């Protein structure tokens, strides 16, 4: 499989293809896309970042980002979506990082659904992004195939572009995490339901369900229990100063309260 070709997008027909792709990925109606053509056109024209990944001549992924605060240092990546099987999502993030570095930026932020395992693995392990805050119901209720009309809790990720771990991740080296031997389970999955544990230890493990998107369709009650549990546990730990240091075995967050050494 050849690497996708990444390029910035400006023309209306290109942006219409992005809009259609996002509708396909999010399972949204054509008039209810996560971002519309007019918004992307304005952002691109104003010098922000709109890019597409092409595989075999076909759009396989796209991303939209804009400058944020602090000014001249940060960019916020609003939306990234990719079809599976082309490594387009990873290629887009690498291109986005280089684009930002070329403009003197040092940080990219974005949000993701912390209940989706593949997203947590991609953001924390594969990209070495670090959760920087928990945002309850950030976008309000969104009725599409991924969010299922539920509250849109999100984790804010900070990607420090010059960080050695981020640089290593950019060389396709997922960041391994060693689970401390004294780590305790703060939240675990038992038969698709959340089970609360201790949250007073120095090192903690926070598991997420195997397939929250399926649960949202087949058992909305269980999905809601998970959202509330993760909001309380992961959100509470982050608010209390704990740090996510990795995502272990593609199933659980690893957190610590230990102060990092210089």
178 in a structural domain: no
Average pLDDT over the chain reads 93
Q: State the Cα–Cα distance between residues 209 and 189, nearest whole angstrom.
A: 6
262 in a structural domain: no
For residue 220, give its domain range: 184-256
pLDDT at 258: 82
One domain for residues 73 and 96: yes
One domain for residues 81 and 116: yes
DSSP element (H, E) containing 253: strand 252-256
One domain for residues 166 and 192: no
- Report the percent of the chain where pLDDT is more than 90: 84
Which residue among 115, 145, 170 closes a domain?
170
One domain for residues 105 and 54: yes
pLDDT at 118 over 60: yes
One domain for residues 196 and 164: no
Q: State the total domains in the chain.
A: 2
pLDDT at 146: 62
CB atoms within 10 A of CB 198: 9
One domain for residues 94 and 164: yes
CA 172 to each of CA 12, 94, 148, 167, 195: distance values in angstroms, whole numbers, following the listed order: 33, 10, 33, 9, 34
Task: Compute the average pLDDT of residues 209-217.
Answer: 94
Please, are residues 234 and 134 in contact by the beta-carbon 8 Å criterion?
yes
Rounded to the nearest 10°, the torsion over CA 260, 238, 167, 81 is 170
One domain for residues 146 and 233: no
One domain for residues 123 and 193: no
163 in a structural domain: yes
One domain for residues 244 and 134: no
* CATH code for the domain in which residue 146 is found: 3.40.630.30
Which residue among 170, 192, 222 closes a domain?
170
One domain for residues 53 and 162: yes
105 in a structural domain: yes
One domain for residues 123 and 241: no
One domain for residues 81 and 200: no
60 in a structural domain: yes
| pLDDT 10s digits, 55-88 | 999 999 999 999 999 989 999 999 999 999 899 9
């Amino acid at each position: 499989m050849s690497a996708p070709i990444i390029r910035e997008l400006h023309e209306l027909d290109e942006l219409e293809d992005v809009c259609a792709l996002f509708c396909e990925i999010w399972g949204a109606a054509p008039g209810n896309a996560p971002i519309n053509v007019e918004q992307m056109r304005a952002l691109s024209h104003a010098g922000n970042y709109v890019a597409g990944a092409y595989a075999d001549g076909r759009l396989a992924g796209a991303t939209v980002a804009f400058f944020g605060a602090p000014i001249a240092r940060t960019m916020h990546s609003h939306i990234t979506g990719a079809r599976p099987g082309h490594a387009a999502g990873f290629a887009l993030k690498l291109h986005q990082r280089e684009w930002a570095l070329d403009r003197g930026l040092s940080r990219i932020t974005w949000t993701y659904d912390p209940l989706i395992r593949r997203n947590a693995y991609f953001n924390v392990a594969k990209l070495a992004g670090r959760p920087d805050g928990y945002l309850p119901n950030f976008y309000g209720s969104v009725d599409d195939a991924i969010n299922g009309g539920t509250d849109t809790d999100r984790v804010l990720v900070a990607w420090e572009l010059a960080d050695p771990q981020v640089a290593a991740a950019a060389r396709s080296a997922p960041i391994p995490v060693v689970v401390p031997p004294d780590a305790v389970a703060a939240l675990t999955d038992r038969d698709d339901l959340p089970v609360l544990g201790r949250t007073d230890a120095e090192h903690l493990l926070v598991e997420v369900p195997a397939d929250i998107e399926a649960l949202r369709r087949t058992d909305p009650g269980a999905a809601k229990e998970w959202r509330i549990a993760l909001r309380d546990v992961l959100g509470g730990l982050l608010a209390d100063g704990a740090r996510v240091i990795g995502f272990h075995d593609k199933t659980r967050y690893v957190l610590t309260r230990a102060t990092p050494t210089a």
